[in-house]
Amino acid sequence: MCRMIYTRSAALLYLLICTLITMKANGFFVGITYVENSIAKGAVCLDGSPPAYHMDKGFGSGINNWLVHLEGGGWCSNVTICLAHKDTRHGSSKKMAKQIAFSGILSNKENFNPDFYNWNKIKVRYCDGSSFTGDVEAIDPANNLYLRGERVWQAVMEDLLEKGMKNAKYALLSGCSSGGLAAILHCDRFRELLPVDAKVKCLSDAGYFINAKDVSGKDHIQAIYNDVVTTHQSAKNLPVSCTSRTEPSLCFFPQNVVQDMYTQLFILNAAYDSWQIKNTLAPGVADPHGHWHYCKLDIKNCSSSQLQTMQGFRSEFLNSVGELMSSSMKGMFINSCYAHCQSEVQETWLRADSPVLDKTPIAKAVGDWYNDRSDFKKIDCPYPCDGSCHNRVFGPNEYSQV
């Protein structure tokens, strides 16, 4: 056990040691690959640097199997916010870590990731702020801001196809948060890139953002998405099945897209998704006096009236996925945790104490669904019934930002 150390330097050293021990047991580090030739195509991050990804090559029976995982990181909905992202890892590959840890669905250990451990596993870094949908040709010389998410998607896919993905026999496109949304928006197009006889499916982890009003009664998240689509000129790159019948910004909500998808999709989401509670239901602009502050940090701090409001949010979420329960094309693991992204971390993906539904951990549910061992569709009972949850507890300054 890692115990409390009271001096600052000793605590930092001990934290580093504990982290390395944990990594040795549960994960491994993978180096970065820059798609340098993409610059000539204008397929670049917000600052003009090349897109990047991390790849762990497959082995044994998984040599022709591909898992492509899209990183999350919110959105930048206007030039000011995009300029702020530009100097971070979510806007520049120059700011990205040269190595990152692979665990959970990206683990290379069979006991931690039994169905995908020996596949080619790629984590595509997120540096465009539009869930890989933007494509603005003009560059304002006053800020040199590149809004080219769609081109980044294409450049990375072309690079992976050349590295062997064109021969894929099995493939899974997955993603977390805004990357989970991107996995939905690009799912059918990903299917079209691969051989017709390949088995291709998609997984969205914490990417099922719903069109719910905030606690003040305003359409806050809808306004954000409208600004994203407008700023990045994303409309032309969103699913035509959706944009042909409604305004493009509404096509950022999966509930308006998934019914028309022809590629099989698995939805992994917490009904009380911590990002959506903090940013969709109770964003700061809707709570100027901070009544939701401590509730958003830790669900155990929520008052009875706040929990009632969150139960209403859960009902809206379940209504948005309800029609999918009868679809043979969809799988589902909707637990009642206060969490966001449960596939990338070993403790929630597959461990002795991982979250379960019907005694089934997430890794087994996804694996059984992908390999057609079961048609997994489970929805949890309301909070606080699920004792297997790993509910997030945030620090006082730890807030996700759009």
Contact 334, 318 (CB under 8 A): yes
CA count, 13 A, side-chain hemisphere, 61: 5
Contact 30, 100 (CB under 8 A): yes
CA dihedral angle for residue 134, residue 137, residue 143, residue 145, rounded to 10 degrees: 30
Active-site position among 159, 214, 273, 386:
273
293 is catalytic: no
Q: How far apart are CA 206 and CA 335, in angstroms?
A: 11
Question: What single string gives the DSSP state of each residue in 102-163?
Answer: E-GGG---TTTSTTTTTSEEEEE---SSSSS--------TTT-----HHHHHHHHHHHHHHT
DSSP state of 380: P
260 is catalytic: no
Q: What is the CA radius of gyration of the chain?
A: 20
SS (H, E, C) 37-76: HHHHHCCCCCCCCCCEEEEECCCHHHCCEEEEEECCCCCC
Burial zone of 378 (CB within 10 Å; 0-12 exposed, 13-18 middle, 19+ buried): middle
Active-site position among 336, 340, 343, 390:
340
320 is catalytic: no
Q: How far apart are CA 151 and CA 271, in angstroms?
A: 33
Contact 382, 57 (CB under 8 A): no
Closest CA to 335 of 385, 298, 375: 385
199: phi then psi, degrees, rounded to nearest 5: -90, 115
Burial zone of 387 (CB within 10 Å; 0-12 exposed, 13-18 middle, 19+ buried): exposed
111, amino acid identity:
N
Active-site position among 177, 204, 249, 274:
177
What's the length of the chain?
402
Residues taking part in catalysis: 177, 273, 340
